[in-house]
Structure 1
């Protein structure tokens, strides 16, 4: 289980967020949405213990699987080396990874469908390939908590789809508490059970996807009119997407 209880963060005299409370149990996935500068990344850092709280408390395991927005290149390390670092975090600063660490890394790569990246140089990978490696590294920690900071922000549409499919696959296993930030409410529809909206007036709203991913709260969140549209999925079935009113081309 991960969560915050009446948590507040301030940088000097500026309050980033205040009195935020939510609980995310193992087996559920939560999306955090909010406008630029509202504090989504700061909230994740507070949850992970990287950012001190001014008030309140956090609940998270000692080790969490964390995927940052941008995976910096790690010179001369293979994909497998990077993933091993996730499992080896449990052995301490001066420990050496062993057979169990390597096996756990291979299993994580297989889970995310990235086994073919094991021997490739991480610093020579594409953005989409690096993202798969970082997700595998988070899985390799063995933590019950997976935390993603805008996991699709630097990806093209194809890699966005693959990342969302993977998030949904991990959600379907129901053995992790999964939290991710995003700017796209359709990502929440695709891979989340619950949603935290960080409203521009400094308040937060927490509820299920069905409650929060609606035109009214999202219009207030982004100060732009939002509408439901019907789209046809790859399987030929009908799906609902939510888009800003400016989307598309006028006839």
Structure 2
């Protein structure tokens, strides 16, 4: 059985002692496992990651990271114009003794991480000049450079186009498998959870939560209740595999009475 890396036991957090972000949460994330966290805005998804990272303490219960943590935040823009290489090098901070400068090994690890993610060409580019997708890959490389057994990502594909969403989520699955990382990530894209998560944590507005295997937990009824929007799960064959996609039913689309043009492809 894979070694547990993240453990939450009857954990809860409230910033004001009245409204709870989450409550009575029991969660284990093991080495090589990816858990996706979904829920409406303000439900405590980012708060949970911050608690796992040790940036805040839960109000009740216990949350432990059993090993060092690599944390990729939702948005990061440095005040100074650092190169992509230097941004990744910052991930080595925990390994560099006080008052010492990075050594050859640190720089070799940074180069290896950039190469592993296919972005070695960006090493000398200013981080602030990169596209959103490129910046996200650099931040993931920074987390990997820390050589941590735990990776936390807060909406890693937010604001990215479809190509870069595909690139980032595929990379997360690959490094979780290759490095046997325990990965916990938040997302507003159920399709991303379908694509790479082993299990999902659904965080509801009324402090309830539901945890289970992605394919069993992400039902039409559960997602509709979570987001308060009717949804359909579309199952189809592509490239020799049976796949599932998430489709919300927006009121505006229903009101317009959109019709499928003759000859358009569709999924039954």
Bin the TM-score by the shorter chain.
over 0.9
Name stretches of at least 5 consecutive residues in structure 1 with no aligned partner: none
- The answer on 1:69 being equivalent to 2:69 is no
SS in 2 for 1:170: helix
Instruction: Give the aligned partner of residue 166 of structure 2.
Output: 161
Distance 2:99 2:7 in 1: 31
| Matching residue of 1:197 | 202
- Structure 1 distance, partners of 2:99, 2:37, is 36
Q: Give CA-to-partner distance per residue, 1:43-96, whole Å, 9 cap, x none.
A: 111111111211111111453111000021352311111111102322245331
Find the structure with the greater CA-based Rg. Answer: 2
1:78 paired with 2:83, answer: yes
Q: Which of the numbers 10, 21, 41 marks the counterpart of 1:36?
A: 41
Aligned to 2:11: 7
Q: Distance in 2 between matches of 1:176 and 1:29?
A: 8
Instruction: Tell me the distance in 2 between the aligned counterparts of 1:163 and 1:154.
Output: 12
TM-score (norm 2): 0.88
- Separation of aligned partners in 2, 1:92 and 1:205: 42
Return the alpha-carbon distance in structure 2 between the equivalents of residues 213 and 171 of structure 1.
21
Shift of 1:146: 0.5
CA distance in 2, matches of 1:191, 1:95: 39
- Alpha-carbon distance change, 92 to 74 in structure 1, aligned in 2, over 3 angstroms: farther
With structure 1 as the length reference, what TM-score do the two structures score? Answer: 0.93
How many angstroms does 1:199 deviate by? 1.3
1:193-235: CA deviations, max 9, x gaps? Answer: 01001012211111111121111111111111111113564x4
Which range moves more in the overlay, 235-244 or 106-115?
Answer: 235-244
Aligned pairs (5 A) from 1:1-251: 1-13=5-17, 14-61=19-66, 63-173=68-178, 175-231=180-236, 233=238, 235=239, 237-246=241-250, 250-251=258-259
User: What is the rounded CA distance, in whole Å, between the counterparts of 1:236 and 1:128 in structure 2?
Assistant: 29
Give the whole-Å Cα distance in 2 for the aligned partners of 1:231 and 1:137: 37
User: How far apart are the structure 2 equivalents of 1:9 and 1:109?
Assistant: 36
Q: CA RMSD in A?
A: 1.8
Measure the CA separation in 2 of the matches of 1:220 and 1:124: 40
**1:156-202, Cα deviation, whole Å (9 max, x unpaired):** 22211111111121233261001100011110011110100101221
Task: Decide whether the 8 Å contact of 2:70 with 2:148 is kept in 1.
Answer: yes
Contact residue 67 and residue 149 of structure 2 kept, 8 A: no
* Correspondence for 2:263: none
SS at match of 2:158: coil
Measured after TM superposition, the shift of residue 23 of structure 1 is 0.2
Cα drift, residue 238 of structure 1: 4.7
